[in-house]
A and B are shown apart, each in its own frame.
Chain A
Amino acid sequence: MDLKVLFLIIIYSILIQNFILSRFLGLCPFFGCSQKLSSAVGMGLAVIFVMVLASAITWIMYTYLLDPTTSLLKYAMASGVAPDLTFLRTIAFILVIAALVQFIEMFLQKNVPTLYRALGIYLPLITTNCAVLGVAVLNIDGFSAIGLNGKLTFLQSNIQGFAGGVGFLLMLVLMSGLRERLELHTIPESLKGLPIAFIMGGLMAIAFMGFSGLSI
């Protein structure tokens, strides 16, 4: 296993091509859930959890059911040739993610009630978080910035899911800290609330652009 590639995936997903600031995935919770630090941490942790699991399950499903070259369906077919089901990718992925989120919610409620109380209200929102479906699709499409064209391996996919989630958490925590500070300052009436949050997001994006000069 090439450790350097895994390291690159982590650095790129967290800092250089952050899911929020440079790939524009998961902006709705970024602005919707960042008013308070506690809710930002809860949302971020829930997203990491779901992104890793979603990466694993969608990767397995794509490889063994949808992709004709590696599909296990060839053993079930009379002709011995697996059908090309890759056109079902979007439908299959979103269904898996919706079911997964529902399942995690029920599992936590029954077995880990403390964690459920901490993450509970954020879990249903995650189904429509584009970062989760985004990472599932990106695992299949490849990571061209570091020269991985084509599908990532299972381990790489999981690492990308985890690192993407950590990058998401980092941004949410930074943003909520900034917004809590901002409440103490006077800003123009018309910029209060979301407009100023967008402008801060822009400034953060400029700051994080500094990482793109990193040569690894």
Chain B
Amino acid sequence: MERTLWQEFTKGMGSEIPIFRVVLGLCPTLAVTTSLVNGLGMGFAATFVLVCSNIIVSMIRNIVPSKIRIPIYIVVIATFVSITEMVMAAYTPDLYKALGIFVPLIVVNCIILGRAEAFAGKNGVIRSTLDGVGMGIGFTIVLCVVATIREMLGDGKLWGYPIMGQAYDPMLLMILPAGGFFVLGLLMGALKMKDLRAEAKKRESIIAR
């Protein structure tokens, strides 16, 4: 069944949302989500690389020999990561320093290589662009959700502003590595619970009929 262009765009935010549905690209999700600023910055950087590499890969898909396609995709991705790295170092030095080693590590973010291999290498430019934008937004949403929870609980702040009130005693654990694991694990569990409920309801309605 052929997807419409709109479905191609929205699947990255719904049925195939990164991290939750397709468990790839975990390292940046846990490492940089100690504050919303970092999460959003990482999301934008990854989206830029994802969209650009999807466009290029879908353009060259017919001339790339299939045996060496993976190294070629990696070079394309690495080029855009280097561009991102230089732009961030020049214009947002604070963010660049905060994200640290995870900016060059966008190269090995499995979401990006995964989309190049599974989608852009088989589809046209327009579809691949939409897929890249959708997936990038999905990834950014996940990063922001995790970052919001961790920053609010762990620091009592959001976007650097205190919002939890004077009486709130920050839970330091949440911005330590362990907190990242807990938040992501519980979010995944909550999503799975929703799925299981929906499934049970579907089954009931079929039986009732």
**A186 on the interface (CB 8 Å rule)?**
no
Select B26's contact among A27, A95, A98, A189, beta carbons within 8 Å: A27
Which B residues are CB-close (under 8 A) to A23?
Answer: 31
A118-155 contact mask (Cβ, 8 Å, vs B): 1 or 0: 00000000011110011001100100000000000000
Question: In the bound complex, how far is the Cα of B196 from the Cα of A196, in angstroms?
Answer: 16
A190 near B71 (CB under 8 angstroms)?
Answer: no
Say whether B59 faces chain A, with CB atoms less than 8 Å apart: no
A26 on interface, CB distance cutoff 8 Å = yes
The complex places the Cα of A22 from the Cα of B181 at a distance, in Å, of 11
Cβ contact within 8 Å between B189 and A202: no
C-alpha spacing A99/B24, complex, angstroms: 23
Stretch at the interface among B9-17, B78-86, B131-139: B78-86
Give the CA-CA distance A192 to B188 in the complex, in Å. 10
Number of residues in B with C-beta < 8 Å to the partner? 44
- CB interface residues, A 188-204, toward B, < 8 Å: 188-192, 194-199, 201-203
A174 contacts across to B, CB distance below 8 A: none
Q: A23-B31, A201-B181, A205-B178 are in contact. Are A133 and B108 (CB under 8 A)?
A: yes
Residues in A neighbouring B41, C-beta threshold 8 A = none
| Cβ of B74 under 8 Å from chain A | yes
At the interface, is chain A mostly helix, strand, loop or mixed?
Answer: helix
User: Nearest Cβ distance between residue B34 and chain A, in whole angstroms?
Assistant: 11
A206 is an interface residue with CB less than 8 A from chain B: yes
Contact of A202 among B71, B82, B181 (CB under 8 A): B181
Complex contact A129–B108 (CB within 8 A) = yes
B176 located at the interface, meaning its Cβ lies under 8 Å from any Cβ of chain A in the complex: yes
By a CB distance below 8 angstroms, the chain B residues around A25 are 27, 105
Question: A91 at interface (Cβ–Cβ under 8 A)?
Answer: yes
Which residues of chain B have C-beta atoms less than 8 A from A94's C-beta?
A: 74, 78, 107-108
Q: Which of B160-209 contact A (CB under 8 A)?
A: 173, 176-182, 184-186, 188-190, 192-193, 196
**Are B105 and A133 in contact, with the CB atoms below 8 A?**
yes
CB distance from B17 to the nearest CB of A (A): 14
Listed from nearest, the 4 A-B pairs whose CB atoms lie closest are: A198-B185, A202-B181, A190-B193, A24-B31
27 pairs from A and B in contact (CB 8 Å cutoff):
A24-B31, A24-B177, A26-B27, A31-B23, A89-B104, A90-B85, A91-B75, A91-B79, A94-B108, A98-B71, A127-B108, A129-B108, A130-B27, A133-B105, A134-B101, A137-B105, A189-B193, A190-B193, A191-B185, A192-B192, A195-B185, A195-B192, A196-B185, A198-B181, A198-B182, A199-B186, A205-B178
